[in-house]
Amino acid sequence: MRVHDIQAYLDRFFDRVELVGDGETEIGGPARIESATEGQVSFVANEKYIRFIGSTGASLLIVGETAPVGKYSDRLTFLKVKDPYTAFVFVLQLFSSHRVVAPPGIAPTAVIGKNVTLGGNLAIGEYAVIGDNCVIGDNTVVGAHTVLMDGVVTGCECVLFPGVVCYEGTVLGDRVTLHSGAVIGADGFGFAPQPDGSYIKIPQMGIVEIRDDVEIGANSTVDRATMGSTVVEKGTKIDNLVQIGHNCRIGESTVIASQAGISGSVTVGAHCMIGGQAGFAGHLTLADRTHIAARAGVTKSFRERGQAIGGFPAQSLRSQFRQEALVRNLGKMREKLDALEAELRSLKGE
């Protein structure tokens, strides 16, 4: 791939992409600026990395519009953009598009059920199983050993890595990515307690709907609804090892870090951020743009937009920090109290 090709690709996203150097230079892939070698592209988005410009082995650097590149232009090629960090993300996407999850076509060992609608330009890997009445959208990739149970619908340009399982009735939008081990549509954790202490299973009759441009990490689970739908709205990104319970609704463009656990019937607003190992009680509501700190224990709803929440039980981070400061000073406070008690005893003549 030539520098000119990368420039043309970035022109789709930026008003101005200035080339300084040789646009015919061949670029084979991305790398960190410290370790890049000839034929690789890197970037500088932070001033502390400017010092590597003179020593990097990269052939192409993506830099800011005001970056001091003049004295290096005889050795390096530069693309100058307003936001080099985001530009490099687009470059990573450009090169990652060449990843092969499954080769084009339908593998001979794949199992295709009855009344299945297959789109064009598919890649269905070895031993993948497509159940009855499924619909697979155009340009979708289904990795080896992935299982789509009866009635699953995928949009176009989805990527399901090897070992994904979508239970019956699951609906995926366009450009959904599911990483290996993800399970979509398993039964929700629904059991009715009985007077004798036993439990009766509550049948989980609903489905899961994953909207456009959602990405779900390895070994994460989204449970089917008891009735109706568990919904993950468009653009949401879910890390590895995340649990989303039945009848939840996760808002648009929300990010959820690893090992977070969201109990059933929780509604998370749009553009929220949920830190790793955060836990939620059931039937709560988070307003849009709520930020939940790592390891928070959320036991109540937060309906005011844009709050930063942390601690257990979860509260505003400002309140949590005040409490932590008091706890850290308990030792000194105890010493002062002991001194005051000793002074009081001496005054009493004890």
**Mean pLDDT per 10-residue run, the chain (350 residues)?**
95 95 94 95 92 93 90 89 96 83 94 98 97 98 98 98 98 98 98 97 98 98 98 99 98 98 98 98 98 96 95 85 82 86 80
With DSSP H G I counted as helix, E B as strand and the rest as coil, what are the percentages for the chain, rounded to 5? 15, 25, 55
DSSP state letter for 113: -
The reply to whether 340 falls in a domain is no
In a domain, 21, yes or no: yes
pLDDT of residue 297: 95
CATH code for the domain in which residue 49 is found = 3.40.1390.10
**Within a 10 A sphere around the Cβ of 90, how many other Cβ atoms?**
17
Split into its structural domains, the chain has a count of: 1
State the residue range of the domain holding 12.
Answer: 3-96
Is 81 part of a structural domain of the chain?
Answer: yes
Q: How far apart are CA 309 and CA 299, in angstroms?
A: 11
Residue 331 Ramachandran class (φ > 0 left, ψ -120 to 50 alpha, else beta): alpha
What is the C-alpha separation between 71 and 319, in angstroms, rounded? Answer: 52
The pLDDT value recorded for residue 346 is: 84
User: Has residue 287 been placed in a domain?
Assistant: no
The dihedral built from the CA positions of residue 212, 109, 179 and 246, taken in this order, carries a sign that is positive
Contact present, 163 and 146 (Cβ < 8 Å): yes
* Catalytic residue annotation: 246
In a domain, 286, yes or no: no
Number of helices followed by number of strands (H, E) in the chain: 4, 37
210: in domain: no
Closest CA to 243 of 295, 188, 302: 188
146, part of any domain = no
Residue 19 has a pLDDT of 95
In degrees and rounded to multiples of 5, residue 248 shows phi and psi of: -75, 160
* Closest CA relative to residue 243, chosen from 268, 224, 223, 225: 223
129 within domain boundaries: no
